[in-house]
Amino acid sequence: MPYHKNKQQAFQAAQQGTEQAKDIYELIVRNDPDYGNDFKRLENEVNEALEQINNALEVASDTQRVQLQQFQQDLGRMMQGHGDL
């Protein structure tokens, strides 16, 4: 049972990290004077979320793996959308 619990906890951490990055992404305004700082914060959140996703992928079920890969794609699109400063 501990294995299942760790698998679920890893997935939930990855999911939460992705949601936090999405929240920051939605708040960023390109023309805002703080855009550079906001983008750096987004970049840090995305990197942290990707690390959590990679950890979760090590123990994920097939169903979780599909969702985790979707999280990775979502995060990649976020960075592409704001990466051109």
Domain count, the chain: 1
Q: How many CB atoms lie within 10 A of CB 50?
A: 19
Question: For the whole model, what pTM was predicted?
Answer: 0.85
Q: What is the pLDDT of residue 29?
A: 82
Residue 84 dihedral angles phi and psi, to the nearest 5°: -95, 80
Which pLDDT band holds residue 24 (cuts at 50, 70, 90)?
very high
Q: What is the pLDDT of residue 71?
A: 97
Residues 6+ apart with CB under 8 A from 39: 28, 82, 85
Distance CA 26, CA 42 (A): 10
DSSP 83: -
Domain membership of residue 36 as a residue range: 2-82
